[in-house]
Amino acid sequence: QVTLRESGPALVKATQTLTLTCAFSGFSLSTREMCVSWIRQAPGKALEWLALIDWDDDKYYSTSLKTRLTISKDTSKNQVVLTMTNMDPVDTATYYCARMVSCYGDFGRRIDSWGQGTLVTVSS
Amino acid sequence: QSALTQPRSVSGSPGQSVSISCTGTSGDVGGYRYVSWYQQHPGKAPKLMIYDVSERPSGVPDRFSGSKSGNTASLTISGLQPEDEADYFCCSYAGRYTWVFGGGTKLTVL
């Protein structure tokens, strides 16, 4: 059974750096074509894809946020970490991590498992 | 990337069919087969319902189907059931290893 769980501070101050951890089980991020993504959803807004890391440690970021994001993994601990610098109140959102399979395949590229999400509020 | 456009809400009575649209551009929905749909009940993690435009993961009822025409993908739910009441959102590959989501649609079963 695949599970993912996000953890991190519920409240951060503007200009601070946010660090979120995704602890997962039921799969290995060293398996070919396996990836983990971070996605967020601000209150009343659309989901927004943030970043992806693959089994080979390649990393991809949202064009609009790439200067503020860093994604990394610790395969031995089954964890993926996302850092976001220079937080702003507009970054208040629920942050999700999710497993993606067949990340670069001709067929079946999809997020098939999500965490429950963690709400991060940014105070001014 | 701009969010994909979905209706804010749709509704239907039990047994009826409803469709939810997801409109993007030739750079995302129209350009790739990698469109997926997710169902989310309040307080729960999203659940994959459709991928590759029209493929159903095992365990998803065949009442759920997907299609695409041009830059618009659609999720159709036939034989509506009360448990189908949830938020639904679409997702599309947008090239250069990036992804884009829709704004979400609230389905109400009357």
- In this prediction, what percent of chain B has a pLDDT beyond 90? 89
- Rounded to the nearest 5°, which phi and psi values hold at B95? 85, 160
Q: State the amino acid at position A73 in one-letter form.
A: K
Query: Chain centroid to CA A23: how far?
Result: 11
Cβ separation A49–B97 shorter than 8 A: no
How many CA atoms are closer than 13 Å to the CA of A107, on its beta-carbon side? Answer: 3
Q: Residue B57 carries which side chain, given as an amino acid letter?
A: P
Is 70 exceeded by the pLDDT of residue B1?
no
Residue A33 with chain B: CB contacts under 8 Å: none
Residue B52 DSSP label: T
Q: Per residue in A61-120, pLDDT tens?
A: 999 999 999 999 999 999 999 999 999 999 999 999 999 998 888 888 899 999 999 999
B17 residue type, one letter? S
Mean predicted confidence (pLDDT) in B62-87: 97
Pairs of CB atoms within 8 A across A/B: 68
> Is A50 exposed, middle or buried (CB count within 10 Å of its CB: 0-12, 13-18, 19+)?
buried
Query: Strand pairing of B64-69 and A93-101?
Result: unpaired
Q: Tell me the mean pLDDT in the region B24-33.
A: 95
Per-residue pLDDT tens over the stretch A2-47? 999 999 999 999 999 999 999 999 999 999 999 999 999 998 888 8
Asked if B46 reaches chain A (Cβ–Cβ under 8 Å), the answer is yes
List C-alpha distances in Å: A110 to A32, A44, B15. Answer: 15, 24, 29
Contact B98/A at CB under 8 A:
yes
| Residues ≥6 apart with Cβ < 8 Å to A97 | A4, A6, A20, A22, A24, A36, A37, A38, A39, A80, A82, A114, A115
Between residues A105 and B48, the one the model is more confident about: B48
Give the contacts of A59 (CB within 8 A, at least 6 positions apart): A51, A52, A53, A71, A72
Decide if A3 touches B, using CB distance below 8 A.
Answer: no
- Segment B38-42 shows an average pLDDT of 92
So what's the pLDDT on residue A107? 83
Can you give the pLDDT at residue B43?
A: 83
DSSP state of B8: S
Which residues does B65 contact at the CB level (< 8 Å), separation at least 6?
B50, B54, B56, B75, B76, B78
**Average pLDDT in the B41-52 region?**
91
Question: Hey, which residues 37-56 in chain A have their CB within 8 Å of chain B?
Answer: 37, 39, 45-49, 52
pLDDT-wise least confident of A50-54, A65-69, A71-75, B40-44: B40-44
Q: What is the pLDDT of residues A55-78, one digit of tens each?
A: 999 999 999 999 999 999 999 999
